[in-house]
Amino acid sequence: MRLAIAPYMLRFGQPAGTSRGVLTEKPTYFIKVFDEGKPEVYGLGECSVFPGLSPEADHRYEYKLIELLANIAIGRPTDLSRHSSIQFGLEQALRDFASGGKGLYFPSKFTAGESHIDINGLVWMGRYDEMLSRLEQKIEAGFHCIKIKIGAISFDEELRLIRSIRERFTPEQVTVRVDANGGFTMDNIFPVLKHLADLSVHSIEQPIPAGNAELMSFVCKMSPVPVALDEELIGVYDSEQRKELLETIRPAYIILKPSLCGGFSGARQWIEIAESLDIGWWVTSALESNIGLNALAQWTANIGAKGPQGLGTGGLFTNNISTPIYLRGEHLRYNPAESIDRHAVSNLDWKY
């Protein structure tokens, strides 16, 4: 078996505001595994590295990919325990290869076109008028779960956005989630939580920065709004450490990004630990291209995830690669009559 690597720069159609700044582009790496005697049949995956968030995103990242390439050629295992995004991509490529290189990673009713995945409508950070416009677009498109990234503008303006929803829709009609990306501190988080609770917000992701389990545990215990952990899961590699973290913090939910929390296998372990502690969960993408998002959607459907998931990022990029997944309103669907654009894939700058 052999492996090839193709770096790729995804470009945003519109700048995407986050608590870490404004994104206009994002690097990713496609990988394929194949038999040297039949290279036209290959399994495809995406190593969706996230600079500023992925612990492995440094100058050594490509060297790790080259190490993997060399080890696969000689049949030697590679330690990817601290390289979630590469684990994520390799698991995709191997599953695709095993099924004949047809882009069917996790066959199910979803890939047969017989079911769909409900997703939340994501409102990116920006100026108030920009966020309001994005919010209105999601409402008009029929989304019943809206996720608003907060922490970029004044909190009073962010409350106005949420209030504009509650003035028209009950919590039963439209669910509101907010994502703080660790943007608050112990000095200001509790007044924020009180205001959010008054507006019947479903949950808040990562209200304070990751890295202090005792403080986060206190926030979870005292918060009138259910708390979901996101960044807190990143960089926790050992199963015992994962269990200890969730036992200490006891959040209401955890947010699973397989490219950031150990690939599909690592995410599955997080789910098993969470369910043993009666902690809820849902799946969110991490700015993958349609290649990674396609595999992630198939996995999400296969494991039976319940409720709205966070899988709608594919339309952000101007130079995406087409796959069978598509959005219809708040439903992510799969068209079995379509396939991954293998022509575009073949034209990538592959390194062997």
Question: Do 72 and 3 contact (CB within 8 A), yes or no?
Answer: yes
- What count of other Cβ atoms lies within 10 Å of the Cβ of residue 52? 9
- Residues 46 and 237: their CA atoms lie apart, in Å, by 20
User: What are the b/e assignments for 88-119, b being 16+ CB within 10 Å?
Assistant: bbbbbbbbbbeeebebbbbebebbeeeebbbb
First-to-last C-alpha distance (Å) of the chain:
12
- Residues 179 and 229: their CA atoms lie apart, in Å, by 10
- Residues 138 and 263: their CA atoms lie apart, in Å, by 30
What element of type H or E holds 27? strand 21-35
What element of type H or E holds 26? strand 21-35
What element of type H or E holds 21? strand 21-35
By annotation, the residues acting in catalysis are 149, 257
User: If you ran DSSP here, which 8-state letter would residue 179 be given?
Assistant: E
